[in-house]
Amino acid sequence: MALSNILKQKTFFMLVCANVALSFLFAASTGTEYLEGALNQLCCDLQNLIPVSAMLLVIAAGVIYSAGQMFGAETRARANVWATSCLTGAIIGIIISQVAPCVLGQIAGLGTCITCDC
């Protein structure tokens, strides 16, 4: 009984390894132009979406902060925390949108930053 379970586990492991190896072989044989195209599209999407989202977060932070000033101390403190979180998210988003082309270029194997052709 124990030998049968070990044999099943080894067979399953070998099938998973063969599946992964075939996936890599198929990906290598189709070329990198599909990958570069997908990463270029991702780069364009990031360049178009994140700065707008960051600006909306900055506006939301201002609204939350100013609205919180009209209430009591506990609500004011909570509004300050929320506004700070919005500003932090905006800053992180802008950093991501600036670093993303270089990271995506490394993933594509170009060694340089991707020039987003939007």
* 55 and 26 co-located in one domain: no
Supply the pLDDT for residue 8.
Answer: 66
Model confidence over 11-27: pLDDT tens digits?
777 777 777 776 666 65
What is the SS3 assignment for 73?
helix
Same domain, 52 and 77: yes
Tell whether 57 and 112 lie within a shared domain: yes
Residues 22 and 38 in one domain: no
Report the alpha-carbon distance of residue 32 to residue 52 in Å, rounded. 31
Residues 37, 77: one domain? yes
Please state the domain count of the chain: 2
pTM of the predicted model as reported, rounded to 2 decimal places: 0.65
Question: 100 vs 53, which has greater pLDDT?
Answer: 53
Residue 69 has pLDDT above 80, yes or no: yes
* One domain for residues 95 and 60: yes
| 42: containing domain | 32-118
DSSP E strand boundaries for the chain = none
**pLDDT over 90 (residue 94):** yes
